[in-house]
Amino acid sequence: VASFTLFVSNTEAIKVPRVTFRTSFEINNSKYKGSDLRYQNLTVKVGSDVWNYVVPIIAGGTYYTFSSPTGATSIPVGGKIAFDIYGDVLTGSALTSYASPIQLVGAVGVGQTSGTNIALKKSDGSIVSDTSPLDGQTVTITAAPSGGGGTIPPAPPPPPPAPSIAGISGPTTLQVG
């Protein structure tokens, strides 16, 4: 349901021990009955590693923090990792598009050598937070040819990183400041 790529091109490798996402209010919310996105089993993967747990029941407008099963994921200078967020789409989801059902609202970056916390910022200079989230991709639910279930088209690839930027990319690029 979303994908965010963290890349590092500054002078120090970083470790990422945890990330926090927020779900849209349209998710599994009776207020939007008939037009909401219904899914379960929210999972974050980095490569083949599932980060700390699977959320079986997802609530709209809720924050979920995921941690690396190995303590922290290291990203070398010039390297990158993708945070892929999965969820099982349920029957009853409206066949429509949902703008950013998942938003990145926080991530911890720590300098691997210095141990200094590194703020993750969008390209406009604002720090990624609850009030300034990084939106995930738009998800479109369409009917399967057989008439049952639905499909989610693959998310577009993130934009390529700028030569001197370190941070997260998704629909918008973030910098480490």
For position 29, what pLDDT does the model report? 55
For position 21, what pLDDT does the model report? 92
DSSP per residue, 34-101: TS-B-EEEEEEEETTEEPS--EEE--TT-EEEEE-TTS-EEE-TT-EEEEEEEEEEPTT--SSEES-S
102-160 confidence digits (pLDDT tens): 889 988 788 888 888 877 777 677 788 888 888 888 888 877 555 444 444 444 444 44
51-97 confidence digits (pLDDT tens): 888 888 888 888 999 998 888 888 888 888 888 998 888 877 777 78
